[in-house]
Amino acid sequence: MAPPGDAPVLDVRGLSVRFRMRGGRFIRAVTDAHFTLAAGERLALVGESGCGKSVLASALLGLLPENAETAGSAVLSGGTDLLAADERTLARSIRGRKVGLVPQSPAAHLTPVRTVRSQLEETVRELLRTPRAALRQTAEEAAERASFPADHLDRHPHELSGGLAQRAATALALIGDAPLLLADEPTTGLDRDLVERTVDELARHTGDSRALLMITHDLAAAERIADRIAVMYAGRIVEIADAEDFFGARGPRHPYARGLLDALPERNFTPIPGMPPELGALPEGCAFAARCTRVSEKCRVQPQFEDAVACHHVSLDAPEALEAEHA
């Protein structure tokens, strides 16, 4: 959370997204998401594929399809509600200037028929209003900030390795000095060495005035970079915790979050049984109940997000409660 008295870079309240389908059916992709992000903070939003993480990111950028309906608010420092802003405002004032995007597929994000240099120069000219005479130098400085090698600037995206394509996309995202950096699955398809280099690069650019929201299913990458962890399941955020607690001795408090950690090869390597529910056919009550070892009659009712976790049985984490449970 943002320190007391400081306005957060991003304040999300009740963010929900549903898609209107044929026949009047709706798919609830994100439901009632709440979180804040302070300047200098790095928050990792984690969960299995298909849980709604990237839909949430698209909602923040105003990039949802026409059949999407949103509710709630997502307010940037300065007062702009991203969910209420029109396309003109988003295109001219938000994307690149207040929210920088590091995309999931940098090669697809980059224009294939243009060199990296020309794309950097175009972005510099658009966002910084840089005079033509200074474009080349400013573009090279932008590349250097993201550790993109100068001798590759005149190459096309298909001539770059996965790691260099990611650095090119990062360089583009950093040009406008946006206070919020949104990285959507930035390590997908990279080997472990490149994953670590990518998240270290993102961490380096999260300074006192910039916050990072990283969406990922890679818990090792999240552990390496995040100050806080938000866990999403079936469209809902079910736990938010300090990363030190989440990955440390205390561990996660929600059974699903615990299952994610236990499935890692370096931990118990025990997969969570069953499959997540389809977002178009969510059950009543807790969506994780069918896969949970703690399920009870209480789980027929959707748990409230209280004390940073949404679970009826979170009180059982207390030692005295666990002792009573097994007596």
Do residue 163 and residue 223 come from a single domain?
no
| Rounded Cα gap, residues 211 and 39, in angstroms | 5
Reported as a pLDDT band with limits 50, 70 and 90, residue 104 is confident
How far, in whole angstroms, is CA 135 from its chain's centroid? 32
Question: Residue 288 domain-assigned?
Answer: yes
Do residue 170 and residue 270 come from a single domain?
no
CATH classification of the domain holding 305: 3.40.50.300
Q: What was the pLDDT predicted at 315?
A: 61
- Which residue shows structure tokens 């120069």? 121
Do residue 113 and residue 89 come from a single domain?
no
Question: Residue 22 domain-assigned?
Answer: yes
How far, in Å, are 110, 196, 259 from residue 107 at the CA level?
5, 19, 33
Do residue 82 and residue 216 come from a single domain?
yes
Do residue 244 and residue 115 come from a single domain?
no
Do residue 244 and residue 211 come from a single domain?
yes
Report, as an integer, the average pLDDT of 218-226. 96
Do residue 242 and residue 161 come from a single domain?
no
Evaluate if residue 5 carries a pLDDT over 50. Answer: no
Do residue 291 and residue 236 come from a single domain?
yes
Do residue 89 and residue 104 come from a single domain?
no
Q: What was the pLDDT predicted at 162?
A: 86
Domain count, the chain: 2
| Rounded Cα gap, residues 124 and 121, in angstroms | 5
Among 306, 288, 308, 317, CA closest to 240? 308
Report, as an integer, the average pLDDT of 292-302. 95
Question: Residue 303 domain-assigned?
Answer: yes
Evaluate if residue 318 carries a pLDDT over 50. Answer: no
Among 107, 263, 266, 101, CA closest to 192? 266
Reported as a pLDDT band with limits 50, 70 and 90, residue 322 is very low
Do residue 85 and residue 122 come from a single domain?
no
Report, as an integer, the average pLDDT of 18-44. 96
Range of the domain at 153: 99-177
Evaluate if residue 1 carries a pLDDT over 80. Answer: no
Do residue 159 and residue 248 come from a single domain?
no
pLDDT digit string, tens, across residues 125-165: 999 999 999 999 999 999 998 889 999 999 999 999 988 99
Question: Residue 119 domain-assigned?
Answer: yes
Q: What was the pLDDT predicted at 191?
A: 86
Question: Residue 189 domain-assigned?
Answer: no
Question: Residue 185 domain-assigned?
Answer: no
Do residue 125 and residue 73 come from a single domain?
no
Comparing 61-70, 139-148, 253-262, 313-322, the range with the smallest average pLDDT is: 313-322
